Amino acid sequence: MNGPIGKPTPSIDGVQKVTGQAMYTDDLRFPNMLFVGLLRSPYAHARIKHIDTSVAKADLDVAAVTVGTDLPISFGVLAISPDENAMAVEKVRYVGEIVAAVAAETMEAARNGVKKIIVEYEPLREFLDPHESLETCREDEQIHSHTKDNKNIHKTAELRFNEPEKALGNSSFQRKESFKFAGVTHAFTEPHSTIAIWNGDETLTVISATQVPHYLHKNLSKVLELPMHRIQVKKPALGGGFGGKSDPFPHEMITAYLSMKTRRPVKCTFSREEVFITNHGRHPTQIEMSVGCDDDGKIIALDTDVIIDGGAYGSFGVVTSYYNGVLLQGPYKIDKFGFRTRRTYTNKPQCGAMRGHGAVNPRYAIEVILDMLSHDMDMDPCDLRQINFLPENTLTVGQLRITSNGVQDCLKAVRKKSDWDNRYRKLPYGRGLGVACGFFISGSALPIIWNRYPQTVVHAKLDFDGRVVMFSGASDIGQGSDTLLVQIAAEELGIPMDFVQVETADTKTTPVDLGSYSSRVTFMAGNAAKVAAEKIRNELACAIANEKGVPVDDICFSNGKIFTDDGTLDILWEDGVEIAMAGRGSFVKSGYYISPKMGGDFKGAGAGQSPAYSFGAFISEVVVNSDTGAVNVEKVWAAHDCGKALNPLAVEGQIEGSIHMGLGQVVSEDMRYEKGQIMNANFFDYRIPYSVDTPEMDVTIIESNDEEGPYGAKEAGEGPIHPVLPSIGNAIFDAVGIRMTELPLTPEKILAKIQEKN
């Protein structure tokens, strides 16, 4: 490869971002624009008896007021559980749920207008703990009327293969352990923000901080009862998502509706507290897991039972429920395998998809149990893992199709770099090393809304000016997908990157892409972009071959030139463009990506299916202060198999960011509630690691070159978070000999365990 693919490539929008010129949603303003204020519920579970909006409506600065009954059609990111409304209808289900909204001339007038709305509530029994929801909910007390058996169970996901429970009883070494994980949230820096504009031609433009313009587009159409061809959704620069901007949101529906109603531009931007209340973060989780090995250390069976606390609405919860189980099928070969996940509704802000979706907590559990088993059988934990790895090109017990697999190389790399063999179990008391592995999907093979379309389409347009514009619905949320599209076109056409520009994430001008979630964009949009650019190149080559009388297969594109190796053809890119445009002008070529058919024919077989899987192995070194219980993660050696690093700078950035986010969950982050009220909706009390808390990071990229990935690439955005947490948990055991099974691993919990042990 002669072009930018595989070379560290700075973001194409980097200069705009360092100079303050990049425009995020809240930076945009329009003439005559109104501002939204939202009235939120003070109750966790209550019937709405009456709403009086008359005083608010009489306010001269208030242009419109709206309540739940104005938008009665429910929605949700998954078509199978559309259980949320733009504003609460009949009852509220969590503290902070939106009950009414005001559009006013200024932000201050909107806040004042909200205060003038009077709501009468009748409190209902609150379910704040998942066990109450599972065990004590009586008839007619349910949070949602659609749940079965008078219980607050949103989803039970269960798969079993080859009777794992029988095999566990017969295994030579067995561990059954319980784990508890606090909920954590994305904490992206840009608060949610949406602008809606009702246009003179009776169309609606919604500009929003969203990871998935397409799903927002679909759900706006449903809730507003406006056909999709009259709605445009655009994503400007976006300040981080991590899954937290991948659902369509109530405030987006409300802002759009208020714009339709007032026929004026309307803006809604959240406060930081509102961002925390909106949540959609990782589910609080309880896991019971059993793993058995034979005499040689081969894993023979795994069985697990999981309860996830979903909060008041569905979000991605059905998928989360499956991912808590099915993504335990790798990177180890386990032939007797079973899980059950129950997702409960509770009266708290909803949980959804967050980096590493559904698989992060069970990954902690299995990796800690494997560490325990390695001690039980006096075997090195790296060796135990190594003998159990899945090979390349195999099927897991639940028929996940594993293709390229670099996990062996990942483990070898971190083992060597950390000097594991000379240091593990040999460090002084208080200092320890821990290892863990992981794997993750490169996009879901099945779209979450079933259809017959490809998962992404990319158009490449070539014009007289020699410029190529890549049109893609893919959302750059900071991960660098816009830069990737440019790299691919420049690579395929042999032109400098400045000849290529992008138009992305605009449902009016760009073809549908399913969005930036489940680590799908590099693999899927990357493949589609490559095909589109290849077609442009072929079109040019044919025209040039025809005019210049050279064999089409001999024509090369590189460094802004079009030539044959024998020298009979040697022209500039611009001259080639002129030849191809003769008599026809500008043209557009398209590429698409659609996953191959895969998976078994049992119910739930589609969950976790992906065209390729990333793999990783991490080793962490920690220092534990046995007097205070404080943990300092000093260094993390991270090796991740991303197939092929199309942009090593971006891949490293994803791995380093994953270490940061994993560290936060394992040592300090915790969504705390009292009586349904979030207690730490700010960055003082919700403790995220800052620069001084961040460990030294040693990143190794392993390239297994996947056959189906673009240039061999797989994902890198989510897989690297999985091994972070358990590698730290296992390092704490090596340091002070305690097993931490409840996250976050706060000093209090660690000190209590140390004291218990001594």
Partner 1 sequence: MEKIQLSINGSVRTILIDSHETILETLRNRLNLTGTKQCCNEGTCGSCTILLDGKPVLGCLTLANRCVDKEIVTIEGVSPGNDLHPVQKYLVQDGGLQCGFCTPGVVMTSIPFLEKNPNPSRAEIREGIAGNLCRCTGYKKIIEAIEDAAEEMNR
Query: What residue ranges bind partner 1 (CB under 8 A)?
Result: 8, 10-11, 13-24, 26-27, 29, 186-191, 237-240, 242, 271-272, 477-480, 649-650, 652-653, 656-661, 682-684, 688, 690-692, 694, 697
DSSP annotation string for 136-201: TPPTT--SSTTSGGGS-EEEEEEEEES-HHHHHHT-SEEEEEEEEE--B----SSPPEEEEEE-TT
The type of residue at 256 is: A
Q: Say if CB 725 and CB 363 are below 8 A apart.
A: yes
CB of 485 to partner 1, least distance (A): 16
CB of 484 to partner 1, least distance (A): 13
State which residue, 126 or 476, has the beta carbon closest to partner 1.
476
Q: What is the distance between the alpha carbons of residues 120 and 118, in angstroms, rounded to a whole number? A: 7
Tokens found for residue 28: 């945009």
State which residue, 308 or 661, has the beta carbon closest to partner 1.
661
Parallel, antiparallel or unpaired: strands 401-402 and 153-161:
unpaired
State which residue, 231 or 659, has the beta carbon closest to partner 1.
659
CB of 680 to partner 1, least distance (A): 12
Q: What is the distance between the alpha carbons of residues 193 and 208, in angstroms, rounded to a whole number? A: 6
State which residue, 65 or 661, has the beta carbon closest to partner 1.
661
Q: What is the distance between the alpha carbons of residues 579 and 343, in angstroms, rounded to a whole number? A: 61
State which residue, 8 or 123, has the beta carbon closest to partner 1.
8
Q: Is 268 left (phi over 0), alpha (psi -120 to 50) or beta?
A: beta
Secondary structure class of 249 (helix, strand, coil): coil
The length of the chain is: 758
Where would I find the beta strands (DSSP E) of 244-379? Answer: 266-269, 285-293, 299-309, 336-344
Q: What is the distance between the alpha carbons of residues 238 and 210, in angstroms, rounded to a whole number? A: 8
Its sign, for the CA torsion 233, 236, 242, 244, is negative
CB of 279 to partner 1, least distance (A): 15
State which residue, 188 or 499, has the beta carbon closest to partner 1.
188
Beta bridge partners of 589: 460
State which residue, 307 or 699, has the beta carbon closest to partner 1.
699
State which residue, 112 or 626, has the beta carbon closest to partner 1.
112
CB atoms within 10 A of CB 281: 27
State which residue, 8 or 169, has the beta carbon closest to partner 1.
8
Parallel, antiparallel or unpaired: strands 46-52 and 91-92:
antiparallel
CB of 688 to partner 1, least distance (A): 6
Q: Is 414 left (phi over 0), alpha (psi -120 to 50) or beta?
A: alpha
CB of 25 to partner 1, least distance (A): 11
CB of 30 to partner 1, least distance (A): 12
CB of 733 to partner 1, least distance (A): 24
Dihedral pair phi/psi, residue 303, rounded to 5° = -140, 135
State which residue, 240 or 604, has the beta carbon closest to partner 1.
240
Dihedral pair phi/psi, residue 640, rounded to 5° = -130, 130
Q: What is the distance between the alpha carbons of residues 492 and 530, in angstroms, rounded to a whole number? A: 7
Closest CA to 130 of 152, 156, 97: 152
Secondary structure class of 523 (helix, strand, coil): helix
State which residue, 450 or 684, has the beta carbon closest to partner 1.
684
CB of 14 to partner 1, least distance (A): 4
Tokens found for residue 249: 């949101």
CB of 313 to partner 1, least distance (A): 24
State which residue, 310 or 526, has the beta carbon closest to partner 1.
526
CB of 243 to partner 1, least distance (A): 12
Q: What is the distance between the alpha carbons of residues 175 and 157, in angstroms, rounded to a whole number? A: 23
State which residue, 60 or 692, has the beta carbon closest to partner 1.
692
Parallel, antiparallel or unpaired: strands 299-309 and 336-344:
parallel
Q: Is 356 exposed, middle or buried (0-12, 13-18, 19+ CB in 10 A)?
A: buried
CB of 704 to partner 1, least distance (A): 23
CB of 684 to partner 1, least distance (A): 6
Secondary structure class of 757 (helix, strand, coil): helix
Q: What is the distance between the alpha carbons of residues 499 and 468, in angstroms, rounded to a whole number? A: 6
